[in-house]
Amino acid sequence: MVEITHKNTTLRTAVAEGIVKVSRQETIDSILNKSVPKGDVFEMAKTAGLFAVKKTSDMIPDCHPLPVEYTHVDYEIEGLSVRIKMEVKAIYRTGVEVEAMHGVSVVALTMYDMLKPIDKGVEINNIRLVSKKGGKSDWKKYADQGLNAAVIVCSDTISAGSKEDRSGKIIKEKLEGFGVNVADYTVIPDEVEDIQKVLNSHVAKETNLIIYTGGTGLSVRDVTPEALEDLLDRRIPGVEEAIRSYGQERTPLAMLSRSVAGVKGKSLVLALPGSSKGVEESMDAVFPSLLHLFKIFRGARHD
């Protein structure tokens, strides 16, 4: 199965539909009158569809088993056609569109099976996904806002040239993937004066995103949080909590990190761990949804 451990657990919703077409009005009448010999078509097919949704991962090899928390089936009669619509919801790391489409397919097949003794002209048509939401793709509307960023690597060893940076490059690559222009990529010593000087410089230039990596551990030499905290106009504790919670699900050592998130002027300031794994997880935890902040800065309606 596809790797999904890096994804966030969110509410996922999908709606799928399909059409069962019969050949004569008498078939529709029999469905509505519940006089089909095999039983109540709508109720039987609905029940089969509910089972199908829950068993999707048993039938489709690459589908992940997931906790389905809501399934709803609707029928709409349009002439000689019955439109089946199924909605599925789950709070998980991957979407439920295949579950919804599998459910619709089995509803349609059950209807076909129940109707074929009285109508040899039954057809199944147009099984398709109508909509889905809840994943990272929902946040693409916040990307490509023309934002610019600065990535600052705080490390005595890297600035001295005795070690190569990986974490800053990960941040840069991920930001560029969201359409953010990384205008500055700098390596500095993990010193309070250097950290603050770079921050003030970028705030003065109204750099949208100022992201530090390194210096957030518990060593006496890790001073990035202290250097930034006093300069921020306000902290954003929810971002810090999201980063820590995401990391904690993957390694107990995440509780030792001291990430910082806040606002200075018109700039969003983040201090992330220095390890490549830690910084990758931190970015995955809050991007691209964090880019919504710049919509707020510009006075856009929260939606």
Examine the domain organization and report whether 50 and 109 are in the same domain: yes
pLDDT, the chain, mean: 92
pLDDT tens-digit readout, 64-74? 999 999 999 99
Question: Which among 214, 163, 220, 218 has a CA at the least distance from the CA of 190?
Answer: 214
- Region 51-76 average pLDDT: 96
Contacts with 290 (C-beta within 8 Å, 6 or more apart), sequence order: 239, 268
* Domain span at 207: 139-297
Question: In this structure, is residue 1 part of a structural domain?
Answer: no
pLDDT recorded at residue 105: 98
Domains: count for the chain: 2
Q: Do 76 and 53 share a domain, yes or no?
A: yes
Q: Locate tokens 């109540």: which residue? A: 40
Given 103, 134, 165, the domain boundary residue is: 134
pLDDT tens digits, one per residue of 147-177: 999 999 999 889 888 899 999 999 999 999 9
Q: Which of 134, 157, 184 is the last residue of a domain?
A: 134
Out of 134, 165, 197, pick the residue that ends a domain: 134
What pLDDT was estimated at residue 26?
98
Alpha helices, DSSP H only, in 55-166?
Answer: 56-59, 97-115, 156-159
Instruction: Tell whether 290 and 164 lie within a shared domain.
Output: yes
Closest CA to 107 of 80, 85, 129: 85
User: Minimal CA–CA distance to 32: which of 20, 42, 21?
Assistant: 42
Q: How many Cα neighbours within 13 Å face the side chain of 152? A: 26
Give the global pTM: 0.78
Return the pLDDT at 243.
Answer: 94
**pLDDT tens, residue by residue, 109-128:** 999 999 999 999 999 999 99
Is residue 302 very low, low, confident or very high in pLDDT (cuts 50, 70, 90)?
very low
Query: Are 93 and 192 part of one and the same domain?
Result: no
Active site residues: 113
Q: Give the Cα separation of 47 and 55 in Å (integer).
A: 13
Amino acid symbol at 113: D
Residue among 191, 175, 192 at smallest CA distance from 282: 175
In a domain, 2, yes or no: no
Q: Are 175 and 208 within one domain?
A: yes
